[in-house]
Amino acid sequence: MPVIYQEVSRDHGFCLSKLFEGIRKYGVAFSPPVTRKSSCSRSLILATIGLTSLDYVALLVYLAIVLLIGASCYRRETDTESFLLGGRRLPWWAVGVSYTVTFLSAISLVGVPGEAYKNGVTAALWPLLGLCFSIAFFFIFIRFYFQGPLFTPFEYLERRFGSKCRGGTAAIYCLARLLYLGTVLFAAAKVFQGMVNWPLMMTILLIGTITMIYTTLGGMRAVVWIDMMQFVVLIGALATVVYTAVTIAPGGIVDVLRFARDTDHLFPDATQPEFYSLSPFVRLTLWTLILRAVGDHLFYKSADQILIQRMLSTSSYQHAFRCTVLGSALAACMVLSLYFVGLCIYRFYADFPVEQRPAPDLALFLFISNQLPAPLPGLVVAAVLAAAMSTIDSAVNSLSTVVTKDFYLRFWRPDATEAAQIRVSKRLTVFWGVAIMGVALMVSSLTEGAAGTVLESAGIWMSLLLVLAPVFLLGVTSRRARQWHAIAALTVGVMTVFCMITWYYVMKGRGLEVGFHVVAVTGFLMTTGCGFTMSRLTPKLPPADLADLTLWTLGHRGSSDSRINPAITTEHHPTLTNASAND
């Protein structure tokens, strides 16, 4: 088999398509690891990470520990709060770490360093903005989810607008999450195929099955405590790569940053006038970065069941805030560290001839294979596996919660006992795990061209999720909005996203470079504009009808008191009362 070489191109496209294209064209055409020579004229050979028997033993031990933790969290729960929310008593610091791991995926560990290696760290503005927006949006939305025994954010929409709005947004969330996670799982399997030559189907079934087992056994407790262990593995692998890269650099950290600055590779986009334009044909602009960060974190704090369910598993509103601060800060630090790893790899391969430099998404593989001694490559593989599993365990747990509380209990069996709901939740955990694996396998069996656009496909469904956030924003900030305003805005947003997706691929087919973030930003703006514009045409609702349902009517007691249980609010979440009073 031929060895794959890839010159670093100067165009702005970025995804795993080069990796997938090489795998598809040549099979797994990688040679064994080679030792780095000191000469700049050395030839570059791309290698998979060579795993020894000791590495595989360590991986098996890691997977066994994961299953043991899941089994240790198994207990005969008597209510859904215990299974789905850990009894609302999980330590805020453990939930904060789990919050961090949720943000990372196997694709992030490869994609972020590849982005920095190829295009610099301009995109690192996103995690920095995200840290600020995450904390700010916490105060806007999360208080409303601690006003009663809520399990999902969609329950708030029924209180604010009605059952149709709740059902519609929950259905869109489930569908979009399923398709998004299926493509992400497939992309993660492709990463493992290129990294350690694991077959696609084996990787998909391995990640999906193990995750499904421990999540079914232990529920939210298992998810949080296993995420804690996975966080330790991720930190260990990241620290190992950073230390090795900095040690190899002639002048350490200072040399890496100085070299990137001198070669205009630190913030290359920021030095171009196009970066400050509004053109959709520019890969990265300041305004789309800001708007995308706003849209993403509005979604995370208003409609994302994965993160909101974690905060609801803490004991109070105050603890949920601590969890958010810790999780957001750790996530920002880890993402920034991955960008720095990319700069280190860029500095390392700068001495190679241009024609022998690896493609962005292959650079990290090559560096690990050639520079880390055994058994450290096995640690990196375990970290990528941990990132993939943490993405799926959060998903199946949150999706089973949404279906149980927003559909089964609401429409099928309103009188279902707690024991019946737990049985349904566990069955749904298995169902969603199988469904996600099914979508991933379906994507893998499609045309060869699907592999090159897998990250774009994942981004499509994330764009669809972002149209949910303006509906929640409309609910908590507008005293005029009715249910039909929310449904109409949501409909316009979904239609806009699908139209933008069509336009995006038409433009790509014509050879025009289009920023993919434009799809998400346009859908988000259209939903927001439509909802608020229509609501301005109607009079304000009486304050009594909006008691504790908007930012302007917090603490107001009226006809909506029956929808909120004050005893639960003060007994289970006493900090909410103080927080509302301070506002």
More confident residue, 432 or 272: 432
> Is residue 27 in a domain?
yes
Residue 139, domain member (yes or no): yes
- 139-148, 169-178, 558-567 — which is least confidently predicted? 558-567
The per-residue pLDDT for 145 is 92
Burial of residue 383 (CB within 10 Å: 0-12, 13-18, 19+) is: buried
Q: Let me know if residue 582 belongs to a domain.
A: no
Lowest mean pLDDT, pick from 33-37, 145-149, 314-318, 481-485: 33-37
Q: What is the pLDDT of residue 148?
A: 77
pTM: 0.80
Please give the pLDDT value at position 564.
39
Q: Which of 116-120, 247-251, 349-353, 527-531 has the highest mean pLDDT?
A: 527-531
Q: 305: closest CA among 477, 497, 172?
A: 172
Side-chain-side CA neighbours of residue 547 (13 Å): 14
Asked if 120 and 268 touch (Cβ cutoff 8 Å), the reply is yes
- In this predicted structure, what is the pLDDT of residue 55? 74
- Give domain status of residue 468, yes or no: no
Q: Residue 22 is part of which domain span? A: 17-67+94-447
Q: Name the residue with higher pLDDT: 292 or 110.
A: 292
Query: In the structure encoding, which two tokens stand for residue 437, read together?
Result: 């694996």
Tell which residue, 559, 560, 184, 564, has the closest CA to residue 388.
Answer: 184
Nearest residue to 380 (alpha-carbon basis) of 243, 267, 514: 243
* Tally of domains in the chain: 1
With a cut of 90, say whether residue 137 has pLDDT above it: yes
Residue 52 domain-assigned (yes or no):
yes
Is residue 459 in a domain? no
Instruction: Answer yes or no: is 510 within a domain.
Output: no
DSSP state letters, 96-160: HHHHHHHH--HHHHHHHHHHHHHH-SGGGHHHHHHHHHHHHHHHHHHHHHTSSS-SSTHHHHHHH
539-577 per-position pLDDT tens digit: 999 988 888 899 998 876 554 443 433 333 333 333 333
- Cα dist. 209→109, 174, 305, 380, 471 in Å? 22, 20, 22, 21, 35
The share of the chain scoring above pLDDT 70, in percent, equals 82
Q: Would residue 138 count as lying in a domain?
A: yes
Mean pLDDT along residues 455-463 = 66
CATH code of the domain in which 380 resides: 1.20.1730.10
Q: Residue 48 has what pLDDT?
A: 57
* Least confident stretch, 188-197, 283-292, 321-330, 495-504: 188-197
Using alpha carbons, select from 1, 547, 521, 99 the residue that is nearest to residue 322.
99
Instruction: Assess contact for 406 and 155: CB atoms under 8 A.
Output: yes
Amino acid at 178: L
Question: Is pLDDT above 90 for 501?
Answer: no
- What length does the chain have? 583
